[in-house]
Amino acid sequence: MIHEYSVARRRMVEEQISEAGLSDQRVLQAMKEVPRHLFVPQLLIPRAHQPSALPIGFGQTISKPFTVGLMSTLLELKGHEKVLEIGTGSGYQGAILAHLAQKVISVERIAPLADQSRETLKNLGYHNITVLAHDGTTGYADHAPFDAIMVTACAPHLPPHLLSQLKDGGYLLIPVSAGDDQILYRYQRRGSEVLVEQSVSCRFVPLLEGVKISDAVTSDLSPTQTGETATEQSAEGDPLA
């Protein structure tokens, strides 16, 4: 199963990532290796490598390939880092980060989705990523500080405690709402200063407090839904640029 769709992955990387100007070879190689089709519902496997976000249930999506490539590139990981991912989703972005960093802590507020992604990652042999059902708005202080933090949900402003969990020199990526739009920002700690860079317009689900347990949320992707109907629900990661 892992080696299936290898040609589709290579074309995805060449046509959607490389041709868009992203050139980090470690990111490109990770995206060629991680079996994206195993992180989407079976109904949508034929569409796994298309340039669009796809629903994974619970009102969430797997971000489109370019989004994953861009955000992974912006962290500038070298391989020795400890990374915090806020918003595990399907686990696909976490798998890419696991190729790029030494250790990944990934937190997901929807408990059954965390369980599902944890099982997928375990079955694929990823041992350097830990998935937890946890309120991502608080970060994860128990394992701080982190060399890098990636947030895959939109906040009205930068949660200040996230910066406090970031190592000096590290990058923090987060979509921030700007009126009716959302902008992906990259923050970097430089001693007592914080450098801010604006990236692309994007569309993510909101960053919410709390943890949803299994009896408090149900999947919104039933086997009878068509891909077109289900895709209309996607909101997590679909840059407009």
pLDDT for position 1: 61
- CA-CA distance, 121 to 98, in Å (whole number)? 10
Instruction: Please give the model's pTM, rounded to 2 decimal places.
Output: 0.88
Q: Whole-angstrom Cα distance, residue 86 to residue 240?
A: 21
pLDDT at residue 222 in the model: 36
- Residue 200: pLDDT band (50, 70, 90) is confident
Mind listing the domains of the chain with CATH numbers? 6-215+223-231 (3.40.50.150)
Residue 219 annotated as catalytic? no
Per residue in 126-163, pLDDT tens?
999 999 999 999 999 999 999 999 999 999 888 888 99
- What confidence category does residue 210 fall into, taking pLDDT thresholds of 50, 70 and 90? confident
> In the structure, how many helices (H) and strands (E) does the chain have?
7, 9
pLDDT tops 80 at residue 224: no
Note the helical H segments in the chain. Answer: 6-12, 25-33, 65-74, 92-100, 111-123, 160-164, 227-231
Mean pLDDT of the chain: 87
Q: Annotated catalytic residue: which of 18, 23, 63, 164?
A: 63
